[in-house]
């Protein structure tokens, strides 16, 4: 019985390692960790406004930023999380188009 339990544990560990290797090969673990930090798109936390550009192709995008007092703005952002400023000064942000630079 002990031998069967050990064999089962070894098979389970091998299967887990194989699945983890598949995710590492595609970069999904890194993307999942990035997405877990902040949701994709606009969010507010820690008193700040954020935009998380979730992508797997490395593209840069222009986002439009809805400013509370003043003219709205736009910014070219890299993949990942970008701090937009204090949460009190920003109403939202959204995807506009790809950056050409």
> Is residue 71 within 8 Å of 80, Cβ to Cβ?
no
| Per-residue model confidence as pLDDT tens for the chain (101 residues) | 445 555 544 454 444 444 444 434 444 444 444 445 799 999 999 999 999 999 999 999 999 999 999 999 999 999 999 999 999 999 999 999 999 86
Contacts of the segment 87-90: beta carbons below 8 A, 24+ positions apart: 87/44, 87/45, 87/47, 87/48, 87/49, 89/49, 90/44, 90/49, 90/65, 90/66
């Amino acid at each position: 019985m002990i031998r069967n339990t050990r064999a089962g544990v070894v098979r389970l560990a091998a299967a887990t390692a194989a699945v983890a290797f598949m995710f590492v090969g595609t970069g999904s673990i890194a993307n999942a960790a990035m997405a877990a930090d902040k949701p994709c798109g606009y969010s507010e936390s820690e008193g700040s406004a954020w935009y998380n550009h979730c992508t797997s192709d490395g593209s840069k995008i222009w986002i439009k930023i809805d400013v509370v007092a003043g003219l709205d703005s736009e910014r070219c952002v890299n993949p990942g999380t970008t701090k937009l400023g204090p949460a009190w000064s920003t109403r939202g942000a959204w995807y506009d188009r790809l950056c050409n630079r």
